[in-house]
Every structure is written in structure tokens, then in C-alpha cells.
Amino acid sequence: MTGFQFQFCSVSKVYDGHSALSGVSFTVTAGEHLSILGPSGCGKSTALRLLAGLEPPSQGQVLLDGMPISQPNQVLMPPSLRGIAMVFQDLALWPNLTALDNVLLGLSGAKLTRREARARSEETLNLCGIASLAHRRPGQLSGGQQQRVALARALAARPKLLVLDEPFSSVDIMTKARLLGEVRSLAAQQNLTVVLVSHDPLEAAAICQNAVVLEDGRVQEQGSLSDLMQDPQSQMLMTFRDYHRLQ
């Protein structure tokens, strides 16, 4: 894999006078598995949208290999050219299309022939263990199966960076554990760079080595997840540690 680096440089985002992110800086390097941790409403998903180029920042810059790709109120590089694929919190599967068509439509921007796109879609669905359900629509699939389709759609694009926006928040713990294991092995197998957004440090620890902890739109701490867990500075990780000591 070629090396690359996404950088958040003092990024802020304001919606209708309300600050969602304030002076946030962190880096995602090729091969890294980074978690953005924080309680609900702390700006995690906003950070992902800015990273993906779905929205411009209000202040600061997003850089790719040192070149600005987003600057205040301007997206310089469109999302489709950043090499980022995302599994959304609500999965964002198009309900009128089958699992296969969801993946195929996701490849329409990839400049592949129809045959190549179909072959790659089937291959990725197979990789995600959902090939037998390729002709079912999302409404005919269970929550866990839908997660796999969303993952297949993201992976089929062969992204530089796979972004997971709390995708496992609505499945039971058994399915979550199985899916986390599968994502970890897929990431290793495909040599993927992963950014996982979560409010659960355990979930983050299942996939990621590093973490950025956000609270009230600001970075409270960042570094190796194991170090952060040992000596937490943020309210979130301290509460998590205390809770587990009580247990």
C-alpha cells in the first residue's frame, strides 16, 4: 500500500451559531486503526463528515499528504476522489435495491466495465459472507446481514481509508462481537486503514490501536489506546475506568 496521511489542522465547525468542533487536530496515517471516541453529541460524526469532504470546515484545514483538501467553507477535493469509504450509523443502504445492486451502484463511479463491477461486487459480498443473500433487498435482511452489505459496499470501492460511523450500535452484543472480529480480520487481510467512531472504548479496543477522545467538540486526549486507558485524562475514559474497577 502506498503511504498517505490525512491531517486535521485546528479544524472547527459551527452550525447556526453552535460550535460542533473546536480547534480539533489529529492525524490518520496509512495502515493505522484509529478510533474517535467520545460521548453522544461530542462532534465525532461531524469530524468524519469533514474528513470525508461531505461538509467544509468553518475554520482550519484538512490535509492529504500535506496538500489542503478542505479549507474554511470550501471542499477542495470532492469526497469521491479522497479514497474514503464509509459505513454509516444508519447504514444508508438504498432500500429499493438488492444487496448486489447496492454494491454495484456504489461502484458506478469506479470506472469499471459492467462485468468487472459485477465480479468485484460478488467477490466482496462473498468476502463479507453474504453472497447467498445477494438478491435480497435490505428490508428482507436481518440487522447483522444489513451491516455486512454496508461493509461490502464500502470495501468494494477498494478505499484507502475505511470509516466506520458507529455501525454496530444497533445490533445485539453477540452479533457485534462477531462483526467486530470480522472487520478486524478483513482490515488485516486487505491491509486497510480504519477510522472507527464509537462511544464504547471496548468496541474501539477490538479494532484500533490508537484513539482520539473528543468531548464538547474538543480533543481531550489522544495517543495509544492502551496508554490512554492506563492513565485517562478525559471524563469519558476516567468514568469507563472507574466503572470497570467497580465491576
Find cell 499528504 and name the residue.
Answer: 65
Closest CA to 187 of 220, 161, 153, 214: 161
CB-nearer residue toward another protein: 23 or 83: 83
When the beta carbons of 110 and 238 are compared against another protein, the nearer one is 110
The strand pairing partners of 74, in sequence order, are: 71
Rounded distance between C-alpha atoms, residue 12 and residue 218, angstroms = 9
CA-to-CA distance for 216 and 18, rounded, in angstroms?
Answer: 11
Q: Shortest gap between Cβ of 239 and another protein (angstroms)?
A: 29
Which residue lies nearer to another protein by CB, 24 or 155? Answer: 155
Closest to another protein by CB, 9 or 54: 54
Binding mask 25-64 for another protein (x = CB under 8 A): ------------------------x--x-x----------
* Site for another protein, residues 84 to 103, rule: CB under 8 A: 84-86, 88-92, 94-97
* CA 5 vs CA 40, 158, 206, 238, 245: distances in Å: 27, 17, 23, 30, 37
Residues lying near another protein in the complex (CB under 8 A) are found at: 49, 52, 54, 78-81, 84-86, 88-92, 94-97, 105-110, 153, 157
